[in-house]
A and B are shown apart, each in its own frame.
Chain A
């Protein structure tokens, strides 16, 4: 289908347009200055080029207008000064405007000026004042010409946004390393987190050489009864002492034992070490920038997987906290052995092993006063009570909980006495 004629057929810069020698010379002079991109040339600077005869402002105006019309210059207001400045545009970029109608030029200019941040279609509409139907046509046309592309911003996932075709959206828009197509890459984060945790764990503990030392952190860190009393009714802790996990421990396997480094130890891993480790292990295909690793480390600290310890930065290190000249080290309080077993348990849980689930539950409630009573996580907690249809008598959750208690005591080799099953009277043969 032939392209529809535009309502406003104003062509862009074309070779047929009359030449302006001063303008062309000025453009070449500006290119020769090799200024960083997007830097502005002031009127004074252009006059100082010596290309404007008698420094005539009229000629300068003509030349700059010629270059602006050909999209080789962009006009800018200069902050804090009266007057305008001009930004140099590459010829290749200016050529993109060739063959665009006015609407398309306007829209493309907006999109181009937004750079790597991209621009929301609503903003374009507000800026250009063009009807949305026309705009839709323009976007389509620009996309077909390969000048723009749609993009997603993690901050505003609902918004329809565009960016200039050859650009990669900024980190702010994509969300950075941890986002893929505007979505959080959970798989990658988990892989990196696991690798960091394992590395920090190995660096935070030393393997014991001598079995006789008594302050080793025990396998599975068996817990004492939470309030120090070895009383009956502490089924959970009893379970921890004697249950399946203890059975696992009882296996005569030679397992490494760990103890913490001496106080004042200064070699816990820092961001630098962790970054090197990730690079060495090639956890991801692309190198992960340090700020992205730092982001994950912060999250791991919040998740209680790592603990931050500060030390003075050495001369060859960049301090994490410049005010105090300190650098952060990351310490893991889970021994490598515990970590391995936890992962195994998690895997078994994912595979649907009930025992692993129970062991995890016990691990979770191992310390502190909090309890596993179902009421605390009950969905009808607020409406449960005397007088209502939901109460202790009619509760659906206490029964299974009771069965769990019984099971836990059985695991702890302290089973509840069982009621004898009633035997069915023999059916008389007819």
Chain B
């Protein structure tokens, strides 16, 4: 993730919001100072070394910072902005687990979000001690649910390499892999390319979450889940790292694919109705790559498995209509195989897909016979990004700016006169709008002189829209807006500090109505309403970030 001052500020605000002042101070120091040792952090933060070390350990546990050690020099620490930003998504992931699985799954995900990462036995024990949905001793149910969450990548394995910067992991690998060392000594383009490929493959292997650090693949691991869960430590080694416990982490990147499928489904629902929306949502879910660590397939065009899609759609429809026992039927990539009277048949699914493929969803196409459908993942990503960007621009600008932007996105570089003709716009109105968009960074102007003297009257001025740049502007604005909303929350809490302190007391919590005066209680309820709204807006803005930046 490219760092930016707005993102840094937002991450600091988020760390403070979730984990308090102390962690914020350390995190802010690292995000501004880059790679620092404990002593440097202590000096910059004016804190005792012992306290700093404890704080950094806490931040590592929460996966908010990376660390790196090379022999004979002190460990260095750096802020992990990706993970810090992702804390915003924890609530959504818990909610998704609740929606697609059950309360137990939500508790498991919540435990892992709280801990940052944990061994399976730690998760199990915690859930057992706090849960009110699992009967005591029913460890199998918890393990089964963990297995499902792992299968669907709601949870993933945590590898040692995930604690370091990608650069450090690559460097370490280069030093350890003897063939890579040999290749590095050779000169020539081919050798250099081979070296780079080898390091990349090694790096991917180190960060891959399909197997745990101890070398198990998901399936192997799941088949031996009982053994590992009993002692938490596995004896297998991969010859590179010491044996370590199997560690789990919540996969907050899953929210990206959820945001994408939801946004596409909303568009489809708006145009073709709810059934079409559900079909598209389930189809996209089949192709979603929900794991940031997993290698992207080189083939981006996916054939939709219609049978699986049919099952998914019917489960989703049952969920929408409120039919219960979701866990028996629904999983994020679930294959339920249930048949009900009002279930959609395969022919209807095909009809819906054919309708969608004829609509604006260019990433969806049908085969020659019309009974097979494909999703181009690349096109899907760019379609979603484009839609999100247009939506952002539409909500920001009045007519005719959206039209001008759309024409330029479609046609590329254009002269003002041509733009006027294509967009059917008045000269004065167009000129004003172009200047406004240029000032805000949404458009650029290129000068093409007709002669070397570069006289203005002999120069062609071409307007164009740089999508990448505009996307960055929107992202920056979104980060800043989220930070301001968090600041607003803080301000509102300050205003209500005395009531909130009371509410935090163990004897008041849950009995606010009885313990607080009527006026105070009303103020508290109003404050909670406001918080709900603000968090709703923050999650909405996060969907923009998910689609524009992470998909």
Contacts and interface: CB of A to CB of B under 8 A. Distances in A.
Contact of A227 (B259, B420, B531): B259
Nearest to B98: A229
B389 to A, nearest CB: 10
Interface stretch (B44-52, B152-160, B348-356, B442-450): B348-356
A216 interface: yes
Contact of B424 (A217, A231, A296): A296
A215 B263 contact: no
Contacts of B485: 373, 375
A369 B395 contact: no
Contacts of A405: 529-530, 533
A298 B281 CA distance: 30
B274 A215 contact: yes
Interface stretch (A133-141, A273-281, A414-422): A414-422
Interface string A191-213: 00000000000000000000000
Given A392-B488, A416-B529, A226 B266 contact: yes
Contact of B406 (A223, A302, A406, A416): A302
B258 interface: yes
Contact of A215 (B276, B392, B531, B542): B276
Nearest to A261: B355
A178 B426 CA distance: 10
B396 interface: yes
Contacts of A365: 395
Contacts of A218: 273-274
Interface stretch (A59-67, A232-240, A242-250, A348-356): A232-240
Interface stretch (B183-191, B234-242, B476-484): B476-484
A146 interface: no
B263 A367 contact: yes
A223 B270 contact: yes
Contacts of A227: 92, 258-259, 262, 539-540, 543
B395 to A, nearest CB: 5
A370 B477 CA distance: 11
B387 A368 contact: yes
Contacts of A392: 484, 487-488, 491
A141 B543 CA distance: 69
Contact of A231 (B95, B351, B480): B95
A241 to B, nearest CB: 13
Given A229-B92, A263-B358, A371 B541 contact: yes
B532 A232 contact: yes
A226 B276 CA distance: 16
A405 to B, nearest CB: 5
Contacts of B530: 402, 405
Nearest to A234: B536
Nearest to B360: A307
Given A184-B425, A416-B525, A370 B540 contact: yes
Contact of B263 (A221, A226, A234): A226
Contacts of B533: 233, 235, 405
A330 B16 CA distance: 53
B147 interface: no
A365 B544 CA distance: 12
A41 interface: no
Contacts of A364: 394-395
A323 to B, nearest CB: 18
B39 interface: no
Interface residues of A, number: 69
A368 B263 contact: yes
Contacts of A157: 427
B484 A231 contact: no
Contact of A368 (B360, B388, B417, B423): B388
Contacts, number: 201
Residue from A299, A370, A376 whose CB has the most chain B CB atoms within 10 Å:
A370
B272 interface: yes
A260 B266 contact: no
A25 interface: no
Main SS class of interface, A:
loop
A212 B480 CA distance: 48
Contact of B273 (A217, A372, A402): A217
A417 B543 contact: no
Contact of A376 (B395, B426, B529): B395
Q: How large is the interface on B (under 10, 10 to 19, 20 to 34, 35 or more residues)?
A: 35 or more
Contact of B427 (A154, A296, A304): A154
A189 B421 CA distance: 14
Nearest to B417: A155
A392 B481 CA distance: 11
Given A373-B541, A376-B481, A405-B530, A223 B396 contact: no
A224 B358 contact: no
A309 B354 CA distance: 14
A307 B481 CA distance: 34
Given A233-B532, A367-B266, A405-B533, A303 B359 contact: no
Interface string A151-179: 00011010000000000000000000010
B484 A366 contact: no
B510 to A, nearest CB: 18
Nearest to A408: B533
Of A157, A226, A333, chain B has the most CB atoms within 10 Å of the CB of A226
B467 interface: no
A360 B518 CA distance: 37
A30 B537 CA distance: 80
Given A368-B387, A369-B263, A384-B484, A302 B410 contact: yes
A352 to B, nearest CB: 18
Contacts of B259: 227, 369
Interface string B339-357: 0000000000001101101
Contacts of A372: 395, 537
A262 B358 CA distance: 10
A420 B391 contact: no
Contacts of B480: 375, 381
B426 A369 contact: no
A217 B266 contact: no
Contacts of B424: 178, 184, 189, 295-296, 299
Interface string A286-309: 000000000110110011100101
A223 B272 contact: no
B406 to A, nearest CB: 4
B519 interface: yes
B275 A214 contact: yes
Contact of B519 (A214, A384, A398, A420): A420
B196 interface: no
A369 B546 contact: yes
B434 to A, nearest CB: 16
B536 A231 contact: yes
B91 to A, nearest CB: 9
Given A367-B267, A416-B525, A229 B99 contact: yes
Contact of A419 (B270, B360, B519, B546): B519
A392 B73 CA distance: 45
A376 B271 contact: no
Contacts of B477: 375-376, 381
A418 B522 contact: yes
A178 B273 CA distance: 37
Contact of A409 (B407, B422, B529): B529
B459 interface: no
Given A307-B359, A419-B522, 4 more contacts: A231-B536, A233-B531, A369-B542, A370-B540
15 contacts: A157-B427, A183-B426, A224-B265, A226-B266, A227-B543, A302-B403, A369-B259, A371-B540, A375-B484, A376-B481, A384-B484, A402-B530, A405-B530, A417-B526, A420-B518
Q: 4 smallest A-B Cβ distances: which pairs?
A: A369-B543, A233-B536, A233-B532, A263-B354
Interface of B: 92, 95-96, 99, 258-259, 262-263, 265-267, 269-277, 281, 351-352, 354-355, 357-360, 387-388, 391-392, 394-396, 402-403, 406-407, 410, 417, 420-427, 477-478, 480-481, 484-485, 487-488, 491, 518-519, 522-523, 525-526, 529-537, 539-547
